[in-house]
Homo-oligomer: A and B are copies of this chain.
Amino acid sequence: MILYSFFRSSAAYRVRIALNLKNLPYETVGVDILTHGGEHLSDRYKAVNPQMRVPALGLPEGDVLLQSLAIIDYLDERFPEPPLLPADPLAKARVRAVAQIIAADIHPLNNTGALRYLKHRLGHAQDELDTWSKHWIGAGFEAIERLIDPAPYAFGAAPTLADVCLVPQVANARRIAMPLDRFPRIRAVEAACLALPAFDRARPEVQPDTPATGVPVGV
């Protein structure tokens, strides 16, 4: 499989974790969404993913999947071990709710595209962007802190889709130096997950496309 990825993208980070947890080998094709206007906007990449976002997953059959949560659901169905969702419908809905809080109510507001609009089209300074990001991360994390119960992962003794989404979002929060003291459960989940090679190897700092200068802050 080919993962169209960007080292700093937290949505791509989710898929990297899922692929690693399932021991699926993949080739990384870095799509630099940050410099020179963004490779994701090229005609070449648009032919891969009409939405022009990362991640996208190229399957051996030639099909390309898009949207991180749709990709992970596909992987979980095609490669069921280890499962990323509980079997019980109610437990599954609780895991999915935490994943969606991150994927729908936090990340879209602090991703590169939204921040660039705020900066370049609406003229806001980096500190206003950071305040905006911290607001949405804080609101989502307050809910998640009440919804999870680390044991040691967000929903029990094995990582689920909730952990797969949570760890990359915490990385985004740390990148803008957001204090996380009031989220002890989230921090405990992060620590438990990062002790696993599947999460550790998926970090932005250690990707094939990570620049030698490290992970940049800002847009």
Once the chains bind, are A90 and B109 in contact (CB under 8 Å)? no
Once the chains bind, are A69 and B51 in contact (CB under 8 Å)? no
Once the chains bind, are B74 and A90 in contact (CB under 8 Å)? yes
Chain A interface SS verdict (over half)? helix
Which residues of A in the span 88-117 have a Cβ within 8 Å of any Cβ on B? 89-90, 92-94, 96-97, 99-101, 103-105, 107-109, 114, 117
Query: Cα distance A50–B77 when bound, in Å?
Result: 30
Once the chains bind, are A92 and B104 in contact (CB under 8 Å)? no
Query: Cα distance A174–B90 when bound, in Å?
Result: 35
Once the chains bind, are B143 and A51 in contact (CB under 8 Å)? yes
Once the chains bind, are B51 and A101 in contact (CB under 8 Å)? yes
Q: Is A36 an interface residue (CB 8 A)?
A: no
Within the complex, the shortest CB–CB distance from A126 to chain B, in Å, comes to 14
Once the chains bind, are B101 and A67 in contact (CB under 8 Å)? yes
Tell me the nearest residue of chain B to A49, going by C-beta.
B143
> Given B78, B90, B135, which contacts A89 in the complex, CB threshold below 8 Å?
B78
Query: Cα distance A93–B70 when bound, in Å?
Result: 5
Within the complex, the shortest CB–CB distance from A104 to chain B, in Å, comes to 5
Within the complex, the shortest CB–CB distance from A157 to chain B, in Å, comes to 22
Q: Is A167 an interface residue (CB 8 A)?
A: no
- Given A71-B93, A97-B67, A124-B122, is A53 in contact with B105 using a C-beta cutoff of 8 Å? yes
Pairs A-B, 10 closest by C-beta atoms: A70-B96, A51-B143, A67-B100, A108-B108, A74-B93, A67-B97, A50-B146, A70-B97, A77-B89, A50-B143
Q: Which residues of A contact B (CB under 8 A)?
A: 50-53, 59, 63, 65-71, 73-74, 77-78, 89-90, 92-94, 96-97, 99-101, 103-105, 107-109, 114, 117-118, 122, 124, 128, 132, 135, 140, 142-143, 146-147
